[in-house]
Structure 1
Amino acid sequence: MLSACAVALRAGARRTVRRLPKSRLAAPVAGARTQRLLSTSAVRSSDLSTRGMIVQTLSSVGSKREVQQYLSLFTSVSQQRFAVIKVGGAILTDYLDELVSSLAFLYTVGLYPVIVHGAGPQLNNLLEQAGVEPQFEEGIRITDSKTLRVARNLFLQENLKLVNALEEKGVHAQPLTLGMFNAEYLNKDKWGYVGKITSVNKESIETAISNGYIPVLTSMAETADGQILNVNADVAAAELARALEPLKVVYLSEKGGLFDAAGQKISAINLDEEYDHLMSQEWVRYGTRLKIKEIKDLLDTLPRTTSVAIIHPQDLQKELFTDSGAGTLIRRGNKLVSAESVTDFKDLDTLRSVLLRDREGPDSRETVDKYIEFLKENPFKAYYDGPMNAFAIVLPPSNDRSQATLATLTITKSGWLTNVADNIFTTLKKEHPKLVWTVKEDDENLTWFFDKADGSIARNGDVMFWYGIEDGDEIIRLMKDFAAHGRAMLGDSNLESRLQRAKSGNSAKTVIQTGRPAVAQQARAYSSLARRPALPTRSFKQMVQGRNYVTTTNPNPPYGRHNASKDQPARVALIGARGYTGQALIQLLNTHPNMELKHVSSRELAGTKLQGYDKEEVIYENLSPEDVRDMEKRGEIDCWVMALPNGVCKPYVEAIWEGRKGSDNKSVIVDLSADYRFDSSWTYGLPELVARSDIAKATQIANPGCYATAAQLGIAPLVEHLGGQPTIFGVSGYSGAGTKPSPKNDVELLTNNLIAYSLTDHIHEREISSQLGTDVAFIPHVAVWFQGIHHTISIPLNKTMTSRDIRQIYQDRYAGEKLVKVVGEAPTVKNISGKHGVEIGGFAVHSSGKRVVVCATIDNLLKGAATQCLQNMNLALGFAEYEGIPVM
């Protein structure tokens, strides 16, 4: 398989020797630009710059592996069969830059979509200016001679505008405005000069592409005697698709997809499985109903490999080159077949080959034969598509298994790329309300399985997943059985061990899969799931207590020293529990199902009972560094939290290091002070910006500052677009000044007042600059409210941008981050106080387009300290990242 860079460079090399076709030389857009296109300076970008563009793009739209696989798929067919893209008039008016940028990327990697555009909104405006009221019959524009004349001139202008914009980006574009569609009158008496397409002139399109040009067509047709007819752009795109049979048919849409009754975007629709159900839904009506029906009618005439995407132009790359997509993907798919007996399979050799395709080793065939014998004697249900690109086997509950178990799941590369894997899991959820399965923790598709599960538990390199199990006692039993027996609890351990030895020589692997790239983003959810979203993932204790907490499973392998597979919760010691942050962390630990607070140290409160912690009685202690060293040596603590003022915790940290020398115990240290934030041997614990896998592997974590967290999250998405030094005007509530009396927490002094302090060289200024890799100016203030921070951040830009552009950048950057919320208006302190995340908004752009003001708010005691500390503890100890953190 060619890499993305190789594809692009090879395509670029081809284009350097091409010459303009004669038809292109005669086009009205050629002119002086013809010489420029033929000149050396107009040749495609150099290999070096092309490579740089590809690498940059790969990192922005998805994993490199995803993009390469999709490029391989798209380049596996002739260039004419890559994609037909329909561009509406509103897109040409409002999103031309986004469209051109997306097309430029496709062109750079050697892909040539066929573009057909309309101009409906522009035509309505011109007709109204000319005193002509647009008329429609059955949704089709009535086109008289005057309307046709206006439409013809408008289409030529819009086509020229798009072609010019592409040329300015270095994209060779071929305007094809006449002779592409042959037509006859649809009904002259009823609609006037409206055409019904009878054939498509593929030769002109193929010639343009073979000469290195993206064809740009108008939705105008001609009769046999040369009469021009108006054609709806959607209809023209459909007829183009029928003639070219492309892999993708793309409808660019301002909305970016189809939406269900709850206003949620439908990620994917499998027509063979879902069409009848969809069309029976109350919310599927009017335009949505018509669009789905038209797309089904189109796909029924095309190969099953063709799919339709409805997508916003700025998300085109993400839709085409990532597993998660960005709009609505519609495909015919393959109806799933089920079997409940080995005799239901027409050909045992085919079944055997499917089970063999994931296995290696000299005894793999013998192992599969034994598996088939097992299936002959035991109940099961298999699910698969026609070509068996996806194949799953579920074993029902039995004396050995308390829940239905997914015993086999094998997916080919084609099955992943065509979303059959998601389709099969959708069916499993319909037929099996509760399901359990296990995966090796180093499985490359682990994130995909996390997305499908309601909960998980790790043990000895395995991860057990489940969904649909909400009874607390039931989950407790499941966890205990897994902790005690591992995979043996899921079925015949002898059989499973033989199966896995055939594959890798390790302990049994219940779920077997192949060929799919590691998933960096959430996999597509089919429309049936979009209508009925999964319940929030909760831990067993939270289910019992009925608390509304989010507990998403850790999307990274649980590297932590202590993880949820242990019988005992993680043991936590808090050094410096008297302050506001320490108290906030105690409240969080009080409801955490997998952590217990064993020791709290405070010199002032030693001997008194800890308030606000209900799991067991805890008495404040005055722990010395020597006490800490001995406790570490004896392995009594899994995690130490340092909630001390700056410059105070070093003796305790060194005591832990000393204790480790005489012990196998390797506890986790999380320091809430600034003492180790600039020490490269410590991991900086900001999960939204630092690799979670790094935090999960760390034994010493520097918790970021409150000001610094909000500022970094508020600036990070624009670092590559910076045109100068950002300035941060920060205002904190007086809890940020701590409990020790000072002017900054004197309520009387703060009333009707605002106090500025440390106007330059504040430690957070250094912290923010160090982590972002660019200098910032930070000006802190304190106000009379108790908790909460507001940042107003002025950010110079290195290019002209719109508010919409910038907001989209932030939404894309923080998509899926549960503790970061991107809003439209400037967020307020009142709304963030007491909540566990960060809100970012404002996005006001200066009239020059070269400066934006972004606002960010954070609760300094929670996400600014205690909540973030708990995120880091969860990751490092092997628990779900958001375990015990209330919903934002």
Structure 2
Amino acid sequence: MQSLTRPACRQLARQLRYSQKQLGAAAVTTQQTPSQAAVSRSNRRRQYATAHKSRYDDGSARSAVINVLNNIASKREVQQYLAQFTSVESQQFAVIKVGGAILTDYLDEFCASLRNLNQMGLFPVIIHGAGPQLNKMLEEAGIEPQYNEGIRITDGKTLGIARKLFLQENLKLVEALESWGVRARPITSGVLRAEYKDKDTYKFVGEVNDVQTQSVKAAIADGYIPVLTCMAESNEGQVLNVNADKAAAELARALVPLKIVYLSEKGGIHDKQTGQLIQAINLDEEYDVYMKKPWVIHGTRSKIRDIKTLLDDLPRSSSVAIIHPESLERELFTHSGAGTLIRRGTKLQQSSSLADIDSAQLKKTLVREREGLDSMAVVERYLDSLKSRNFRAYYDDNMEALAIVLPPVDGGSSLAHLSTLTMTRSAWLSNIADNVFQNLKRDFPKLAWTVKQDDENLTWFSEKADGSIARQGEVLFWYGIDSPDEVRELMSEFVQHGRQMFGDVNLESQLHRAASAAERIRAGAARLAGMRQQTSSYHTSARRPQAEMQRVFNAGQRRTYATTNPNPPLGIKNRDKDYPSKVALIGARGYTGQALIDLLNRHPNMDLCHVSSRELAGKELKGYEKKKIIYENLSPDEVRKMAEKKEIDCWVMALPNGVCKPYVDAIEEAGNKEAVIVDLSADYRFDSSWTYGLPELIPRNQIASSTRISNPGCYATAAQLGIAPLVEHLAPAPAHPTVFGVSGYSGAGTKPSPKNDVNNLTNNLIPYSLTDHIHEREISSQLSTPVAFIPHVAVWFAGIHHTISIPLANQMASRDIRQIYQDRYDREKLVKVSGESPLVKNISGQHGVEIGGFAVHSSGKRVVINVTIDNLLKGAATQCLQNMNLALGYGEYEGIPL
């Protein structure tokens, strides 16, 4: 199965969601009698039965959804978990408990997730409550709810209202699922059997004591997702109200699913002292620890205790997840998951001596994923190297998982090194890998490790790290380093020693070099804090056949930058050059040039070497603190000579339109193809040989592999980000989007004109270039659809506000449109989507874009969207730095305050 690109996955997800939603909507008229509604539901069921059959006949929808899931996880993760889920009986996949608040506030999100699961042939069992709705109905009926020890006392009148409500909510959920193309069957009785909890105290409240699964299994066998309510019957047939969580637990005991999911609007359990989400609780190791925490009281304490009791009765492979409904797929198909995962876990052993570890088992574990005739010899040499080193090993009883850490050297750096990490497939799927990292983070506050850039586990490693940098096919990850000085030196060391350490594949040479480095460190105790221990370490990739020696650096010096990019850089160029990268800025008098200088001043791996400005030549550059720089007036010929000597790694052209071509030609004439050129003018935005550098819309690997990049315009960036997610939903010609844009006067440049005259702008709004503006052409060209652009300038200094009117091909709701945007920009750090219209005063000085509004016309076929951007930052300098980072091999957001 061929995976799709991230944008294609998102587009496909939107198409699937929208087309199926429209199918459901088309089957219902706005005014229906009860009999008409019944006929309509019957027709829809026949439609979905046909659709369901065709889905599994050709498998196209299943493949499509798997490709969509690749957007939230690696292809490998999705395939592994899907194989695990489909290897058991359908009813053993998952039990999902849905609270009443989810049915009220997140019904569409839940249905969309269930549709995706169902299209892959998965049938979770759903059981829902309706607590908030019941409280509201009781209040309307004039009944004050009564509780005893947190349990609702259910008298006859309350039970009658609750029974009616649960039936209504059950039908509501079933019909919602059907409107999304999911066959669902309501099961409102006959499954849960109960006895009175305490009839005198709680009245009609029951404790589930038996689960009859026949109707659940029959529904799944017929191709329906079963939807149950948390109502039970006694042996005498009396309906009893039961706790939804406890009912879900008993259902899970009967069905023995791989996953038990409690959907929660809070998204998981939060530590009430720190406010942080607890990602995982390993009960075998941490249950007593959590039960002693002062904030684990009342409902939280009861929930953790009940979950432990449940999991003690289920196979160790089962787990409970408390998550937000929007995170259902992420929880099921990624190693990192979402929300709070509670599992039995695997109690790990620790050892700091090879004598304490079963030698035969250790060697078998280390060699199991190595290829080649010398694999055992490699392992023997690695173990010999550990005899003279301080290390700590973490492993389970069967050594399904093994991690070996080299702690910090006494008196030197506080950074530990992950030397070895090896996992079997079952260890990954049972989350032992996460358990290992929990132990590492507990015992080693600062840790670094290296991974091959093509490692299939790269996404998982990225999520465990605070930062990363790639070099010559290797990615260095780290966590716990919060000092900019520490991180910069770590990155610098990784880059400086990359060729020496990574270029030699001879294991004996590597080990010899590591031993020599260790000896030098022991001998130079007086300089421990400033020396580096070049450590060669053994690393096996957890889920790929080949294994190899990996290198991890002991960064004992001062370091200087914490990258904000959790993902490895894309398309790294293995240039043999000194670091940091040398940058020349041609045209620095304007506002954009000054903004870029400020960003470069904070960038750890870029060295601004030349700044050219005809007006400022001979004066000292202000605002750059790394070194003293004097403005120059560089001619194209001087630029050519510098390019011939390869003195510059990146040229930034911050010149007016129509001026930079001679400089670009000079670099081309010098034959320096490896030097990166980023042009901030419009001169090359329509040149197909140049890459258009808008990372949120243009594939990042395309930018990363380019050396000629045209930086988009400020107006154009905001307009494209505001329109792009709806391009596939646009009404046909002659209708087209219209952008009403207003910029602060900094967009008019520093040269005096009526458009940057504050007196002229006060109490005024100046329109200009009302047709055929170059940005109109740029926006239309990049989106491949006509767009009208009407620019204005206002009295504020920095910031752009767009009001964009977009005609739609079909009726759409505001919430659906906003969801499209949230899906499209979910992982974009510089794009914020909200329901409110953004304000231009809030974007000034910020490095991102804000999108909101989403006001839909009463016809449902036109939406108005607002977008704000700082024209000097994300509209110019910040975007330029994104492109420079990608093209030069750094993390995309390095040097950009987030």
* TM superposition score normalised by structure 2: 0.84
Structure 1 vs Structure 2 CA RMSD = 3.6
Deviation at 1:228, TM superposition (A): 1.9
Aligned pair 1:184/2:195, yes or no? Answer: yes
Deviation at 1:560, TM superposition (A): 3.5
> Cα deviations across residues 94-124 of structure 1 (Å, max 9, x unaligned)?
3333333322222221111111122333333
What is aligned with 2:686?
678
Match of 1:199 among 187, 197, 210: 210
Is this contact kept in 2: 1:731–1:791, CA < 8 A?
A: yes
2:90 counterpart residue number: 79
Deviates more, 1:197-206 or 1:142-151: 142-151
Other-structure match for 1:93: 104
Distance 2:68 2:847 in 1: 33
Which of 27, 31, 53 matches 1:44? 53
Give the secondary structure class of the aligned counterpart of 2:850.
strand
Q: Given the alignment of the two structures, is residue 134 of structure 1 paired with residue 145 of structure 2, yes or no? A: yes
Aligned pair in 2 of structure 1 residues 405, 94: CA closer, same or farther (>3 Å)?
A: closer
Aligned positions of 1:284-323 closer than 5 A? 284-323=296-335
Larger deviation, residues 145-154 vs 641-650: 145-154
Residues 239-278 of structure 1: matches in 2 within 5 Å? 239-261=250-272, 262-278=274-290
Length, aligned pairs only: 828
| Alignment check: 8 A CA contact 1:91 1:252 kept | yes
Aligned to 1:833: 844
Say which SS state the counterpart of residue 712 (structure 1) adopts. Answer: helix
Distance of aligned partners of 1:602 and 1:457 in 2 relative to their CA distance in 1, 3 Å threshold: same
Superposed, 1:345-356 pairs within 5 Å as 345=357, 347-356=358-367
Alpha-carbon offset, residue 788 of structure 1: 1.2
One-letter code of the match for 1:515? R
CA distance in 1 between counterparts of 2:646 and 2:827 reads 37
1:637 paired residue number:
648
1:396 CA displacement: 3.5
Residue 833 of structure 1 and its aligned partner are, at CA, apart by 1.6
Q: 1:187 to 1:286 in 2, by over 3 A?
A: closer
Following superposition, the deviation at residue 203 of structure 1 comes to: 2.1
Distance 1:734 1:562 in 2: 41
**Paired residues of 2:191 and 2:212 also in contact (CA < 8 A):** yes
Distance 2:641 2:3 in 1: 55
- Per the alignment, residue 65 of structure 2 pairs with 54
Query: Structure 1 stretch 282-291 or stretch 857-866: which is displaced more?
Result: 282-291
Q: How does 1:594-609 map to 2 (within 5 A)?
A: 594-609=605-620
2:592 and 2:310 map into 1 onto residues whose CA distance is 60
1:164 corresponding residue in structure 2: 175
Identity of aligned residues (%): 66
Contact 1:272 1:333 in 2 (8 A): yes
Instruction: Give yes or no for contact 1:554–1:875 (8 Å, CA) kept in 2.
Output: no
Shift in alpha-carbon separation, 1:481–1:864, aligned structure 2, 3 A: closer
Provide the C-alpha distance between the structure 2 equivalents of 1:703 and 1:805, rounded to a whole number of angstroms: 32
1:107 corresponds in structure 2 to 118
Are 1:216 and 2:227 an aligned pair? yes
1:799 deviates by: 5.4
Gaps of at least 5 residues in structure 1 are 6-28, 501-506, 518-536, 544-548
Amino acid at match of 1:599: H
Q: In structure 1, what is the Cα distance between the partners aligned to 2:323 and 2:446?
A: 34
What aligned pairs does 1:615-630 form with structure 2 within 5 A after superposition?
Answer: 615-630=626-641
User: Aligned residue for 2:697?
Assistant: 689
The equivalent position to 2:542 in structure 1, one of 486, 508, 514, is 514
CA 1:450/1:116 → structure 2, altered by over 3 Å: closer, same or farther? closer
1:765 paired with 2:793, answer no
Give the 3 Å change call, closer, same or farther, for CA 286–779 of structure 1 in structure 2.
farther
1:711 is matched by which residue type in structure 2?
A
Partner of 1:706: 714
1:671-696 Cα deviation digits (max 9, x unpaired) = 00111122222122122332322222
SS of alignment partner, residue 621 of structure 1: coil
Counterpart position of 1:559: 572
Alignment of 1:464-503 (within 5 A): 464-469=476-481, 482=494, 485-486=497-498, 494=507, 497=510
Q: Distance in 2 between matches of 1:32 and 1:838?
A: 44
Scaled by the length of structure 1, the TM-score of the pair is: 0.85
Is 1:394 aligned to 2:402, yes or no? no
1: CA distance, partners of 2:181 / 2:408:
61
Q: Tell me how far apart the structure 2 counterparts of residues 95 and 476 of structure 1 sit (CA, whole Å).
A: 43
SS at match of 1:821: strand
Residue from 372, 380, 393 that aligns with 2:391: 380
Structure 1 residues 785, 320: closer, same or farther in 2, change over 3 A?
Answer: same
Q: Which amino acid letter does the alignment assign opposite residue 427 of structure 1? A: N
Instruction: State the partner residue of 1:11.
Output: none
1:308/1:765 CA distance change after superposition, 3 Å: farther
1:399-548 matches, within 5 Å, as: 404-456=416-468, 458-469=470-481, 482=494, 485-486=497-498, 494=507, 497=510, 510-515=538-543, 542=560
Kept in 1, the 8 Å contact 2:96–2:261? The answer is yes
Q: Work out whether residues 97 and 127 of structure 2, in 8 Å CA contact, stay in contact via their aligned partners in 1.
A: yes
Q: CA deviation at 1:387?
A: 4.0
User: In structure 2, what is the Cα distance between the partners aligned to 1:315 and 1:797?
Assistant: 29
Q: How far apart are the structure 1 equivalents of 2:646 and 2:234? A: 86
Contact 1:827 1:841 in 2 (8 A): yes
SS of residue paired to 1:44: helix
Of residues 361, 365, 370, the one that matches 2:381 is 370
Question: What is the letter of the counterpart of residue 862 of structure 1?
Answer: L
Q: 8 Å contact 1:265–1:328 — kept in the other structure?
A: yes
- Inter-partner Cα distance in structure 1 for 2:488 and 2:563: 18
AA at the equivalent of 1:331: R
Higher mean alpha-carbon deviation, 287-296 vs 191-200, is at: 287-296
Counterpart contact for 1:728–1:776, Cα < 8 Å:
yes
Residues 86/463 of structure 1: CA separation in 2 closer, same or farther (3 Å cut): closer
Q: Distance in 2 between matches of 1:433 and 1:496?
A: 31
Q: C-alpha distance in 1, partners of 2:775/2:347?
A: 57
Provide, for residues 786-840 of structure 1, a one-character-per-residue CA deviation record: whole Å limited to 9, x for no partner: 2111122233445555555544544444344333333453222222222222233
Contact 1:794 1:851 in 2 (8 A): yes
The alpha-carbon distance between structure 1 residues 604 and 94, as it changes in their structure 2 partners (threshold 3 A), is closer
Distance 1:435 1:389 in 2: 22
| Amino acid aligned to 1:329 | L
* Aligned match of 1:884: 895
| Equivalent residue for 1:584, pick from 579, 592, 595 | 595
Structure 1 residue 335, shift from structure 2 partner: 1.8
Aligned residue for 2:134? 123
Tell me: CA distance 1:330–1:554, structure 2 relative to 1, closer, same or farther (3 Å). Answer: closer
User: Relative to structure 1, is the Cα distance of residues 89 and 471 closer, same or farther in structure 2, using a 3 angstrom cutoff?
Assistant: closer
Deviation at 1:189, TM superposition (A): 0.8
- C-alpha change, 1:85 and 1:396, in structure 2 (3 Å) is closer
Partners of 1:770 and 1:284 lie apart in 2 by 57
Residues 346-398 of structure 1: per-residue CA shift (max 9 Å, x gap): x4332222212221111112222333344445432111234433210112345
After TM superposition, the structure 1 stretch with the greater mean CA deviation from structure 2, 214-223 or 610-619, is: 610-619
TM-aligned CA deviation for residue 471 of structure 1? 6.4
Task: Give distance in 2, aligned partners of 1:161 and 1:51.
Answer: 26
